[in-house]
Structure 1
Amino acid sequence: MSTQGEDTVERRAVMNRLCNSLEPRVMDDNMLKLAVGEQGPQEEAGQLAKQEGVLFKDVLSLQLDFQNILRIDNLWQFESLRKLQLDNNIIERIEGLENLTHLVWLDLSFNNIEAIEGLDSLVNLEDLSLFNNRISKIDSLDALVKLQVLSLGNNLIGNMMNIIYLRRFKDLRALSLSGNPIAEAEDYKMFIWAYLPDLVYLDSRRIDDHMKALAAMKHQYGIDELKHREALMQAQLEEEQALRQQLQEHKAAFVEGLDGSFLFDSMYAEDVEGNKLAFLHGVGELLEAYKNKFVVICLNIFEYGLKQQEKRKVELDTFNECVQEAIQESQQQGKDWIAKFEEKHLMSLTAIRDESDLASMELRITEYNKDITELFDLLMTLEMQLIEQLEETINMFERNIVDLVGTFIENVQSLLAQCRDLENHHHEKVLEIAINTLEKMAKGELDEDLPDGVRALFVDKDTLVNAVGASHDIHLLKIDNREDELVTRVNSWCTRLVDQIHKDEVMRNRKRVKEINQYVEHMQSELDNLDCGDILD
């Protein structure tokens, strides 16, 4: 657990003297290499590591305190780092930590940091010290879901509501806030004990269970109200998450937005003329009937799409199971052959070592070479058989998935054609009503009072027909675009899936052949070394 002792003032004085005597520094490769070298092992292994060079990506702990560092930089190579010590510098911003995703412990105490930031990628951080900085607000820690220890003493935090923010960290057990303005509040400890009930240590002192219970009683009303708000917020978050998950499922089926009137509404969203024509007598009822039929077809597409997605998923799952079963069976056969070979291998090497006659030894070595070659041939034959089996399985899957996608597209296009038929029928009816209205206006027989914008369409027949036609074109374009989008996406998905499967199989085969060659070469090397040694003897 990160704590700060009573020597805070003395340490700060030491740092100030150091800062005044040195120029501000930026973290560069030379500084990092020096730090890694100094902190590495000093015995023979350490000296060898220094000669060969230490890879930054393998370093687990890095200490860079009292270096007069102004800016965090050049840490991107330390991808395995778990502990980073940057205390007692003059750092002003938390930055440059994006690649340190394995970091568990971070010390940024005794710096000049004014805001908590730049920690979003540190999802494994458990211990964070920002003691003795210039921070006035506790925020931007949301990604630190594993946070257990937080040291924020000697900062400028003055609002007690900052404590409420910390309730989201369910694993937080130790908190340091002494030396902040809020620590001077009369109710400071009782408030924290009440609102952070899982806390075990506050300002380096263990919290008494009895005092925690008293604090909970004192603030019961506020806590109950807060819990109610938190429950509402949690329910809202869960609902939003469920909606996002649902949308992703609909997108995976390529039918998002087709479970209601979204497509129909989009047809009229930018249709100025169509919205004007809706004022004509009879068009409103016609539009309502049109919408109901259109939405029913969209729902049919939606439900059909979900069912087809489930079929594609079952097909893919079955394919993956078949592939894994074939690979495991082949691997087991290979392991069995290797086990038999290695059993014989030990006896053969022992027999060669014990052989005193050179001619007999050479004969045994020749036999052993044959065994190695035979094993290689067996393993490669097994791999070739697997390749043929998987190729047949992949080709069958490809045919099935292409057929499923083709059937899906064909049926969706058929249903969307029904939408176009509805649109064509609606267009004819609207045009008929519009022309009748124009004729009535020309005869002075129109009883209804139309808005000026609508009357402007009835200048002459050409203007009217063009307006109705423009509305019709917009509707058809929306349907066409949705169809094109669906077809393009599902075809792209199918192509990417099949290409990736072929690519994965090529990579698997290359890896397996490499494994076989490396194993056989190792066996051959053992024999060659033994042979050379015997010859030298």
Structure 2
Amino acid sequence: MNRLYTSLEPRVIDDGMLKLAVGEQRPQEEAGKLAKQEGILFKDVLSLQLDFRNILRIDNLWQFENLKKLQLNNNIIEKIEGLENLTHLVWLDLSFNNIETIEGLDTLVNLEDLSLFNNCISNIDSLDALIKLQVLSLGNNQIDNMMNIIYLRRFRCLRTLSLSGNPISEVEDYKMFICAYLPDLVYLDFRRIDDHTKEVAEAKHHYSIEELKHRENLMQAQMEEEQARREELEKHKTAFVEHLNGSFLFDSMYAEDSEGNKLSSLPGVSELLESLTYRDKFVIICVNIFEYGLKHQEKRKTELDTFSECVHEAIQENQEQGKRKIAKFEEKHLMSLSAIREEVEMPNIEKMILECSTDISELFDALMTLEMQLVEQLEETINMFERNIVHLVGLFIKNVQSLYPFCDDLLCTMAQCRDLENHHHEKLLEISISTLEKAVKGNLDKDLSEDVRGLFVDKNTIVNAVGASHDIHLLKIDNREDELVTRINSWCTRLVDKIRRDEIMRNRKRVKEISLYIDHMKSELDNLEYSDILD
């Protein structure tokens, strides 16, 4: 262990330590004095030094949400934790601590420089999220497996690596291995890698590198395919028709249908399932609903894009009008202040100040009037959008649910899935009753299993079995329809609510901006003391 300051009390990071550290790092001279008077918010701190403080555990750093540089070196930290909110961090120094495992860095996606020098780390892993990593210092640790180098190939931006002082640095082929497997590396153990070394390393490990590249390409292709599938599924979920572009719903009806699976072995049932009278038609219905859902999603997207564009244009135009009014006011206001400062007669000064005050009030009224006009305009736009999107959602639901669609785009509906299932149920019941009659006469097919034979003891048993199967199928269809309807209605409600909340927040922010600006103008005028003017 790299224990430091063993004579001191181990500490955690608390508010007192943080305030002291921020105060110590405050800028000097005039800027420092101003910062001391006004105080520094932790969220405004970009760089923080917490080195040589005998820190045992990282804590209470969540307030530094915009921090870019953090020094925690030369402490007694044993675990990397408490950094998840520091998503803007670019530079992190955890050198000279007692860390054994790399962890707790998953959210630091902007990190470029990481130092874990002089710790107790034996394995390089858990750095996957650090896609921007350029500098990695892991010297003086306990890394002894060269396969750790292969892991680092995924970091395309890595240019500087330090591993000296680890057991692997004593391996004979250490430098050649790293240069071959990390060809984009520029510096290794604080020395620049020359072109000749790279060429020799590449030639020495050529065959193993080519084999590794082949495996990496296969893995990359698989990852890209999986990513494409995930994106495609997400697109289908956005349209609320995921898993309807095939036999998923049909297969799910039989996945938990033990009675139906038994009955499928009856003579004539397999043909009934596979023929165009049931399975294929059922899948066709689902695919048609799926394709209709994608088309309707495009209509909703177009409606939302049009609305967003209208809102943006309205806000832009309103802001431009406000800027013109402010520019015109400031031009006159500056001239008025200049004239006040040059005036020597007190009555004239008081009159001019009163005129400036009137101008400020008029500007406030003009800006607030503009904002109220925008609020009314956006309210009307939001109401129109809400009517349109609710209509689109309602039309989509009606078409998916109804036996006879309201539009030509949809050829089949969930109601037709139920209708098809009802028809199949009738046919299956006919076959089952016919089989029961054979069983009564002793002519039951000998190839049927004992489980299936057990259904044909009497009419009630077989009718109940067919009915149970039918109920499961209808429940699956009903549940999928309910899920679709519930989710799209919920989406519509959340969307409109968010739009209204965003507008309320925008209005409050704008009113606050206007008020702060007007208060500043009034304060500037109030601070225009007569003594200064006369001087």
By the TM > 0.5 criterion, same fold? yes
Q: Match for 1:424: what amino acid?
A: N
Cα distance, 1:325 vs. partner? 0.7
Specify the code of the residue in structure 2 equivalent to 1:345: H
Matched, 1:267 2:253: yes
Kindly indicate whether residue 148 of structure 2 is the aligned counterpart of residue 162 of structure 1: yes
Moved more, 89-98 or 224-233: 89-98
1:311 aligned counterpart, secondary structure: helix
Q: SS state of the match for residue 32, structure 1? A: helix
Please say if residues 43 and 64 of structure 2, whose CA atoms lie closer than 8 Å, have aligned partners that are also in contact: yes
Structure-2 separation of matches of 1:48 and 1:536: 29
2:384 is matched with which residue?
A: 396
**Aligned pairs (5 A) from 1:113-262:** 113-262=99-248
Q: What are the residue-to-residue correspondences of 1:299-378 with 2, within 5 Å? A: 299-378=287-366
Are the structure 2 counterparts of residues 147 and 531 from structure 1 closer, same or farther at C-alpha, using a change threshold of 3 Å? Answer: same
Alignment partner of 1:281 is 2:267: yes
Matching residue of 2:395: 407
Change (3 A) 1:179 1:407: same
Provide the residue aligned with 1:485 in structure 2.
483
Alignment of 1:501 with 2:489, yes or no, is no
Q: For 2:184 and 2:111, how far apart are their aligned partners in 1?
A: 19
1:255–1:98 Cα change, 3 Å: same
AA partner of residue 501 (structure 1) = I
2:418 is matched with: 420
Q: Deviations for 1:463-488, whole angstroms, at most 9, x for unmatched residues?
A: 11001000000111111111111111
> Distance in 1 between the 2:238 and 2:445 partners?
52
Aligned partners of 1:498 and 1:192: how far apart in 2?
Answer: 56
Tell me the CA shift for residue 29 of structure 1.
2.8
2:10 & 2:361 partners in 1: Cα distance?
A: 65
Cα distance in 2 between the residues matched to 1:523 and 1:323: 30
SS in 1 for 2:100: coil
CA contact (8 A) 2:69 2:89 kept: yes
Match among 42, 52, 57 for residue 66 of structure 1? 52
Shift of residue 531, structure 1, vs aligned partner: 6.4
Q: Percent identity?
A: 78
Distance 1:341-1:48 versus aligned 2 partners, 3 A rule? closer
| Contact in 1 for aligned 2:342/2:533 (Cα 8 Å) | no
The SS at the match of 1:175 is strand
1:520 corresponds, among 509, 513, 518, to: 518
Note if 1:529 corresponds to 2:530. Answer: no
Partner of 1:66: helix, strand, or coil?
coil
- Residue 296 of structure 1 aligns to a residue in which SS? helix
Q: Post-superposition shift, 1:85?
A: 2.1
Match of 1:4 in 2: none
1:460 — aligned with what? 458
Deviation at 1:349, TM superposition (A): 2.2
CA deviation digits over 1:266-299, x for unaligned, max 9? 1111000000000111111111131100000000
Calculate the aligned-residue CA RMSD, in Å. 2.0
Q: What does the per-residue CA deviation read over 1:10-32, in whole Å, with 9 as the maximum and x for residues that have no partner? A: xx9xx86x533223333333333
Please give the secondary structure, in 2, of the residue aligned with 1:458: coil
1:437 corresponding residue in structure 2: 435
Please name the residue that 1:8 is paired with.
Answer: none
Residue 344 of structure 1: CA displacement? Answer: 1.5
Q: CA deviation at 1:448?
A: 4.8
Q: Deviations over 1:484-503 (max 9, x none)?
A: 11111100111111111111
What CA distance in whole angstroms lies between the structure 1 residues aligned with 2:366 and 2:40?
41
- Contact 2:340/2:533 (CA < 8 Å) preserved in 1? no
C-alpha spacing 1:271/1:122, structure 2 compared with 1 (3 Å): same
SS in 1 for 2:455: helix
Q: Quote how far apart the aligned CAs of 1:151 are.
A: 1.2
- Distance apart, 1:300 and its partner CA: 0.6
Instruction: Name the residue aligned to 1:55.
Output: 41
TM-score w.r.t. structure 2 length?
0.93
**What per-residue deviation string (whole Å, max 9, x for no partner) do you get for residues 447-466 of structure 1?**
45210000111111001100
The one of 80, 90, 93 equivalent to 1:104 is 90
SS for the counterpart of 2:355 is helix
Q: Using a 3 Å threshold, how does the CA distance of structure 1 residues 381 and 35 change in structure 2: closer, same or farther?
A: closer
Q: Deviations over 1:106-160 (max 9, x none)?
A: 2222222211111112212111121222211111111111111111112111111
Deviation, structure 1 residue 37? 3.0
What are structure 2's unaligned runs of at least 5 residues?
403-412
SS of the aligned residue for 1:147 comes to coil
Q: Read off the aligned partner of 1:370 and give its amino acid letter.
A: T
**Structure 1 residues 132 and 352: alpha-carbon distance in aligned structure 2, compared to 1, 3 A threshold:** closer
Summarize the Cα distance change of 1:76–1:255 in structure 2 as closer, same or farther, 3 Å threshold: same
- Aligned residue number for residue 296 of structure 1: 284
Q: Give the distance between the partners of 1:40 and 1:362, measured in 2 at CA.
A: 43
> 1:185-207: CA deviations, max 9, x gaps?
11111111111011111111111
Structure 2 SS opposite 1:106: strand
Q: How many residues align?
A: 523
Distance in 2, Cα, partners of 1:196 & 1:300: 51
How far did residue 45 of structure 1 move?
4.9
**Counterpart Cα distance in 2 of 1:29 and 1:507:** 32
Give yes or no for contact 2:341–2:534 (8 Å, CA) kept in 1: no
Would the alpha carbon gap of residues 115 and 340 (structure 1) be closer, same or farther in structure 2, given more than 3 Å must change?
same
Distance 1:62 1:528, change over 3 A: closer
**Structure 1 residues 335 and 357, CA, compared in 2 at 3 Å: closer, same or farther?**
same
Q: Separation in 1 of the partners of 2:329 and 2:238?
A: 49
Q: Residue by residue, what CA displacement relative to the aligned partner does 1:351-380 show, whole Å, maximum 9, x if unpaired?
A: 333333344334433433333333222222
Inter-CA distance 46–374: structure 2 relative to 1 (3 Å threshold): closer
CA distance in 1: counterparts of 2:173 and 2:532, whole angstroms: 84
